Amino acid sequence: MTSLTTNITALRSQFYASKLGLTPTEWANITKQATIHEETVNRQSTLNINNSQLA
């Protein structure tokens, strides 16, 4: 059932995208999964600011 629902949802979305005049490339760009990059950020600063000022 989940697979059927997923496929029907995708078809419905594509139908409305075509009614709006979106090209297949535009539709693919809208619906593609976002890429997330993880990066560690050092909290310490070379500035002389305390934690309450930073917040």
Whether the Cβ atoms of residue 30 and residue 14 lie closer than 8 Å to each other: no
Give the pLDDT of residue 49.
Answer: 65
Give the pLDDT of residue 52.
Answer: 66
Which position has the token pair 């500035």? 47
Give the pLDDT of residue 20.
Answer: 92
Whether the Cβ atoms of residue 55 and residue 43 lie closer than 8 Å to each other: no
SS3 state at 55: coil
> In order along the chain (55 residues), what is the average pLDDT of each group of 10 residues?
91 89 88 86 66 62
pTM (two decimals): 0.46
Can you tell me the distance from the alpha carbon of 27 to that of 25, in angstroms, rounded to the nearest whole number?
5
Pick from 1, 51, 26: which is nearest to 13 by CA? 26
